[in-house]
Amino acid sequence: MALYVQKFGGTSVGSVERIKAVAEKVKGFRDQGHQIVVVVSAMSGETNRLIEMASQINEEPTPREMDMLVSTGEQVTISLLAMALHQLGVKATSYTGAQIGIRTDSAHTRARIQQIETDELRADLDEGKVVVVAGFQGVDSEGNITTLGRGGSDTTGVALAAALKADECQIYTDVDGVYTTDPRVCAKARRLESITVEEMLEMASLGSKVLQIRAVEFAGKYNVPLRVLSSFEDGPGTLITADEEISNMEEPLISGIAFNNNEAKLTVLSTPDVPGVASRILGPISDANIEVDMIVQNVAPTGGYTDFTFTVAKNDFRQTQRILQEQVIPSLGGGEVRGDDKIAKVSLVGVGMRSHAGVASRMFRVLADEGINIRMVSTSEIKISVVIDEKFLELAVRSLHTAFGLDKADVSEEH
């Protein structure tokens, strides 16, 4: 008998029929004698629908009311799933995040879980009940409902698995595992048997939305065995493991390709090349709570002027442009602002890079052969990211996928 936390995403609970199918699946595990905690998301499209309604009323609603609003999506699915389980003769109780004691800080819309109470959960499980928990939400010390950021139900699942020391946290979704890249963009993408926590963290932070990054962080920190599987068909899925030996038996150079077209690029041209300029540019941006991702500063010819380029989320593009125009340029005493929100970031990820030189030059050659211009580059030990024009995104992903031997048909690189 094992204890599993099973999270079902939006598409998996996207209709009454699908909720019934989830109940059947959960019943199958109960019938084998396992203890089950189920975490569900809102029905697919529901969170977006709620956000859209809010935007029709107020361009900047207070974060507290946003959380009050968007947390309702999950309350619908927990109750329907509990009802579907009852219908199959399975004992089950649904709980909101607050009811089950998922305590978070007060950072509305991006709260962090601080503590989870497990007494009630354990009591229910010991009585043979399936516990159905609303993903994505918690409660702060004042009793306000909070949410954990988009895709946050993954984090609820992993955090519950950590708190309960579950045997495995299973993330059921609309693909049958973690792929070498998004299978919706590259038909030749291949499911990975396993991937290291470290690589999955990079993939998630660089744009692969199959798992929320905080869920992967939790899994790494608390050693939670984590698996991504299909809701719709049986299969082994992908294991996310701390063990590089398991994950990289064939030591592939690259494990996956992540991409993100949710960023915009800003350049301050002709800034004086003197100490303090970078901080004068980025200070007001960070004061406005805008997160900066990639940063590039050109080397200036002696005694001259330089260009300073950085990226922010597309949502923050207009505001960043305004801050640069109104605050930064006057404080620098000159310069010119250029912006581009039609960019994409494509990243190669793999622990194999540590022991192999030449990944970057190979990447640049592949992109050059396709006539794709590289606008920015950033590297770390296990990843290389380039910023390119958005219109080349799919071409870049597919040609890199082939060039680095990740295509499905290439059995020699299978691992």
Among 10, 138, 207, 350, indicate the residue that binds ligand ASP (CB under 6 A).
10
Partner interacting with residue 277 (select from Mg ion, ligand ADP, ligand ASP, none; CB below 5-8 Å by kind): none
Assess 220 for contact with Mg ion (CB under 5 A): no
Assess 152 for contact with ligand ASP (CB under 6 A): yes
Nearer to ligand ADP, 110 or 209 (CB): 209
Residue 184 marked as a ligand binder:
yes
Q: Give min distance, CB of 148 to ligand ASP, in A.
A: 8
Partner interacting with residue 178 (select from Mg ion, ligand ASP, ligand ADP, none; CB below 5-8 Å by kind): ligand ADP
Residues 214-273 that bind ligand ADP (CB under 6 A): 256
Assess 14 for contact with ligand ASP (CB under 6 A): no
Residues 132-191 that bind ligand ADP (CB under 6 A): 151, 173-175, 178-179, 181-184
Assess 151 for contact with Mg ion (CB under 5 A): yes
Residue 218 marked as a ligand binder:
no
Assess 173 for contact with ligand ASP (CB under 6 A): no
- State both tokens at 14: 């996207």
Partners of residue 95 on adjacent β-strands:
133
Partner interacting with residue 335 (select from ligand ASP, Mg ion, ligand ADP, none; CB below 5-8 Å by kind): none
Assess 41 for contact with ligand ASP (CB under 6 A): yes
Give the binding range for ligand ADP (CB under 6 A) out of 6-14, 85-93, 297-305, 370-378: 6-14
Q: Give min distance, CB of 190 to ligand ADP, in A.
A: 10
Residues 105-134 that bind ligand ADP (CB under 6 A): none
Assess 237 for contact with Mg ion (CB under 5 A): no
> Which residues participate in the annotated binding site for substrate?
47, 74
> Which residues participate in the annotated binding site for ATP?
7-10, 173-174, 179, 184, 209-210
